[in-house]
A and B are shown apart, each in its own frame.
Chain A
């Protein structure tokens, strides 16, 4: 271990320095050396290309070429608009990196951190890169591109202002403003914005403008920031928003800038904004139902979503749902009675996000479904793509896991009534979202749609002949509307059928499910109110479903009429309704910024609806829609089984095996229809009547109704065809300077030292070079003897990350672990030349293998000895690292992590050094209740062989009560047990005077540490052993306080008593230690 450690830990010291000071810390830097951390696994080897448009360099890979064409067009479209709006232009080309799906996006190395599911994209300051994934929804893709480009313009304009006035950009404009204006100027407020703001007013969590810092970085901050910018724009004019950017240099406190621009004090402005928000939303809320008051809870703890129903063989009903109660998303089930009231505590069905198989749930995006056998079909990310799991809730075991080679993302699997097939939404590598059906028995995957439209949440009708789903393949889709459609299978066919409208209009009709009798579909819907321009609450609706309106056909006769019924008028939003066999609706509700599962009496809602709207054709409202299968050529999709293939006997036992469509033909013939449209409410109860505005009527119609020609294809955005772009080229790595930093320090004892670090990387962040040089001035030594230089490279673009480098180090070293140094004064002068290499291969997000090697020539001049020690140390090591720890504000709170390392170090020059290193470091975190964690740490390390290095203990981070690294030995055993508990959360909210100090929380700890270190007979002198604190059992116990500042820094204060040789209290005086850092 010693030499290995001296090389791999000491040698890249400069690199580490570079990382520590924030020089583009690579995402998996923690994979090198003895560390923990999860892995950002590079599952894909993207073949990057660059498309040069007028203002952008668009990075894409060939599979998503069509999507890149759309994205390039969106970017150019918004560039002109923003240039005009900002009254400003960009002087440099903007690199825009597109990914086809969120799962590809998660692999980006442009940002070091892990990217959660619902991050739409980001703008990175260092190289000015915009990174945006699509995920099947072109509208969202377009909006996120606009959002990020607003960031680019904002950043450039503000930076220009700072430069113009030669003011140091000590603080940039606050996040709420940059995100708020990005949302405000990327389009009209969407339904999510309205949901949050309406709920903030209804549930009274609206944060005053003068206290918005309190919610920094939260989702609410984004939406409130948008509302603030919208208020400023509507009240004072958008020009004032520009003035705020242009005047950002006037004061580091942005509130002063706002006061300067709006000429009012901030407190008054805060009150005005509050009044404005309430004036907007209170009328919406008045008379609306608070969900928690009218709907009974099925599960009201944590964040619970996506309810599904199951009745077991004993007739016991269950609600199966996804929830995040403690940081991990799990699948739960709770037994309920016929009224859907819980009759027992919920049980965990599947523990998610702690293993490679169930790596991550798409909690907000993907539903799940249970068949009659109690087999729940659900989706998790597993490796580089999504998979469909089938889990037997009776046997409590996973039956199958299906992965499909061509599908990256999968959402919302739904069982056919016979339990033989699964319908779901899949996103191929092209980035487009389509419907698929997988036949489990035949192991056959069929694609039902193949176009650029976004098809979501398919659900099988009770008779198995039709699917209902939500899609933007509507005449209103160009503006982002989603309507409900049915797909009627041809008799006996798996992948042939016909599409028809079920709803029609500029709504967002989402999450459909059939009623058990198959006559209706229940779903959620919201529509932009023509009077206010804002989306209404997302309410529960049903629509008659016995007929649907065919696409691509028209007649001159009256068309059938369907009725859509609005069942609720909530203050906030509802999601994912399911109609039970007892005529209740179970759904997810958003209220008070929480998602809960609730239930209402469906019959009562139907009998007393809010309004009823007719869906019927009208020639003058005809709008073109999408064909079933567009002309886009895509490779056939092939199923791939899987992590756990279906056993033969399982296939035979698939219930209802055989052709599910043999009995019934396509559902009742689809009535002849022609043009399609929506008309007005028939008997509105509270006035939810709407007339399509003239603009809709004027929507381009493919042909006149009577000319006999079929209507044209559906809407489409205009792409920039890559074939028309002259400058399209494969990506070639080129390195740009990311950061350069230097410094000089002087010390009366150690002399003067100074140096600089440079970091370079390529545009995709996959390849990084670090160059460092510093000089340590040592009296009596020349400049060259104290020169330290290193060059290293990290490559993160492949699954196996690797790094290598060369170095020359020279200078006086203080090394308490060096066996050659004197025990009392371990200082020597050393010159080292060498190189190192390291490979990290992630087995999954949570586990990896690390290999390391190094070779270094070293010459040490010991200050207290006359001889010079020369060696050529070669070290090799292999380590297995596991980390599923879940972090809270102050450190891990759940999960476990471990590091097992074996190494061998030898001196190939003189054979003076020759030893094996064994190390096991295990840490476990047991969350007793939320906020209360019992942490256990066990560490065993041994260096066996000649002249091996010493391991070190002592200090605030491990063996408390002892000096920093005061315990030194070749063999150590160490354990620490710590109970971590909350004291005060958000002290600033209790004592506002603390708020400016950024005190995020105060927590407590009760700890017990113990260690035994020994050196065998290496040091024959017992005095030396005593100086090393070896040969005895040491420990400490006490209490500690943890102060989290700004959510980023933890200050630690411990007070306790030391003990030695068992529980021998040889000291009566308590010790205190104060330092900073996260809990172990």
Chain B
């Protein structure tokens, strides 16, 4: 009897081990196995570049149709998606990063848990996915996507703002306003500046020029620092809060505020060049998208405005029902915008007229993204929508669509 129990117990253990193994295999770790090739179509940081211009390298023909919807099991921050080699990397407020094959959501390539909520945008290198963590004790976590393990962690206060990568330097700004320059590969702190008067920072840092980085705190105080050692270059105080990430274009720092003002500063001196005022002073403006001649900004009053980068003159405005809370995304002559009333639409960048629109299942609070021949929209509660040209059109527009994606679509 005893031996029988033992045998049964042994079998039981084996079954458990098998189940655990199956479960483990089912939860495929995020591991690419080789360094990523970060070509021109890659989207490796918030806004697509250190200048945060939210401009895609590729264009996208209209109309679009929904290809798939994926439940990411976690909500998204304001700029949560990155793309490289046809892989979509999505960071969630659940603290996970998931990767998907853009061409086919069934090719779920893996996920990893970085510990706690990710609000700010991560950055992607050929080997690392580095994410700011907005809660808990790990301020920044670098994940080695080649080996499938944590590469390093920055033991620091929470970081709600996105990260800025410039070469081998990573700029991270904590919720307490501490600016750190880190070594991308090791996480070693190169220099660190603590805020003299504590103010939270939600806007991601932006690169002004090759050697200068700008940080904007919640109160609208801007400081420019040497990327090399953090030496202050200039400061400016807008006097109004800033929560969305600014952009840099044509020598100007373009700053959206939460009080209806969009301010352009000289990127080298911090002098105010022009100010655009929305109709209502309580309007919250989104991060802009810009092609360096025109900038496009959404607003909580439902307005999308196109402004001349150099003068701030209004080229056109378009008004939607409902709040525009996510940064627009420019792809060629089309501006993609999502709204809190669950609509995604494409505007003609030259005129502001609607060229395409669709309704989805959730509010859009995360900037849409055009990459690999697709439009990626992340919406509440935790859905990733992929839009692409209809299959027949995909062939026609194959010049702008990743070849593997076309193959995949054709196969479907």
Contacts and interface: CB of A to CB of B under 8 A. Distances in A.
Given A89-B340, A239-B258, 11 more contacts: A83-B323, A84-B280, A84-B302, A88-B340, A89-B322, A91-B342, A91-B362, A237-B258, A239-B218, A260-B175, A263-B199
Contacts of B241: 237, 239
B200 A263 contact: yes
A238 interface: yes
A164 B95 CA distance: 11
A165 B117 contact: yes
A160 interface: yes
B46 interface: no
B283 A89 contact: no
Interface string A630-669: 0000000000000000000000000000000000000000
B342 to A, nearest CB: 7
Contacts of A88: 323, 325, 340, 363
A732 interface: no
27 contacts: A83-B322, A83-B323, A84-B282, A84-B301, A84-B302, A84-B323, A87-B284, A87-B300, A87-B325, A87-B340, A89-B340, A89-B341, A91-B380, A164-B74, A165-B93, A165-B94, A166-B93, A237-B241, A237-B258, A239-B218, A239-B243, A239-B258, A261-B200, A263-B176, A263-B198, A263-B200, A264-B198
A264 B381 CA distance: 32
Contacts of B218: 237, 239
Interface string B322-360: 110100000000000000111000000000000000000
A166 B94 contact: yes
Contact of B282 (A85, A89, A91, A263): A85
Contacts of A89: 322-323, 340-341, 363
Contact of A250 (B135, B280, B301, B323): B135
B280 A83 contact: no
Contacts of A260: 175
A994 interface: no
B138 to A, nearest CB: 15
Contacts of B284: 87, 239
Interface in B131-146: 135
B343 to A, nearest CB: 11
A264 to B, nearest CB: 8
Contact of A87 (B74, B175, B323): B323
A263 B218 CA distance: 12
A163 interface: yes
Interface string B121-156: 000000000000001000000000000000000000
Interface of A: 83-85, 87-89, 91, 160, 163-166, 237-239, 243, 250, 260-261, 263-264
A85 B258 CA distance: 10
B386 interface: no
Contacts of A239: 218, 241, 243, 258, 284
Contacts of A238: 282
Interface in B374-403: 380-381
Contacts of B248: none
A89 B300 CA distance: 10
A679 to B, nearest CB: 32
Contacts of B283: 84
B300 A84 contact: yes
Q: Which 4 A-B pairs have the closest CB atoms?
A: A164-B75, A89-B340, A263-B198, A164-B93
Contacts of B94: 165-166
A163 B135 contact: no
Contacts of B200: 243, 261, 263
Contacts of B301: 84
B258 A163 contact: no
Interface string B304-329: 00000000000000000011010000
Contacts of B340: 83, 87-89
Interface string B257-280: 010000000000000000000001
A250 B136 CA distance: 10
A678 to B, nearest CB: 30
A88 to B, nearest CB: 7
Contacts of B322: 83, 89
A238 B340 CA distance: 20
A160 B325 CA distance: 15
B300 A163 contact: no
B303 to A, nearest CB: 10
Interface string B96-132: 0000000000000000000001000000000000000
Contacts of A237: 218, 241, 258
Contacts of B341: 89
B199 to A, nearest CB: 7
Contacts of A84: 280, 282-283, 300-302, 323
B253 to A, nearest CB: 21
Contacts of A243: 200
A238 B282 CA distance: 9
Nearest to B283: A84
Nearest to B325: A87
A85 B259 CA distance: 11
A617 to B, nearest CB: 36
A243 B175 CA distance: 12
Given A84-B280, A239-B243, A166 B74 contact: yes
Nearest to A163: B381
A166 B381 CA distance: 11
A165 to B, nearest CB: 5
Contact of A91 (B176, B198, B325, B363): B363
Nearest to A89: B340
Contacts of A160: 380
A84 B298 CA distance: 12
Nearest to B76: A164
A235 to B, nearest CB: 11
A785 B14 CA distance: 39
A89 B282 CA distance: 16
Nearest to B75: A164
A462 B74 CA distance: 74
A83 B381 CA distance: 18
A88 B341 CA distance: 9
A237 B302 CA distance: 21
Interface in B203-259: 218, 241, 243, 258
B323 A163 contact: no
B69 to A, nearest CB: 16
A260 B93 CA distance: 18
A261 B280 CA distance: 25
A261 B301 CA distance: 25
A647 to B, nearest CB: 65
A85 B260 CA distance: 12
A918 to B, nearest CB: 60
B284 to A, nearest CB: 5
A250 B160 CA distance: 13
Interface in B158-203: 175-176, 198-200
A476 B135 CA distance: 51
Nearest to A263: B198
Nearest to A251: B135
Contacts of A263: 176, 198-200
Interface string B280-292: 1011100000000
Contacts of A87: 284, 300, 323, 325, 340
Contacts of A85: 282, 300
B337 to A, nearest CB: 15
Contacts of A163: 75, 381
A261 B218 CA distance: 10
Contacts of A250: 135
B213 to A, nearest CB: 22
A261 B158 CA distance: 12
B239 to A, nearest CB: 11
A164 B199 CA distance: 25
A237 B258 CA distance: 10
A89 B365 CA distance: 11
A843 B275 CA distance: 69
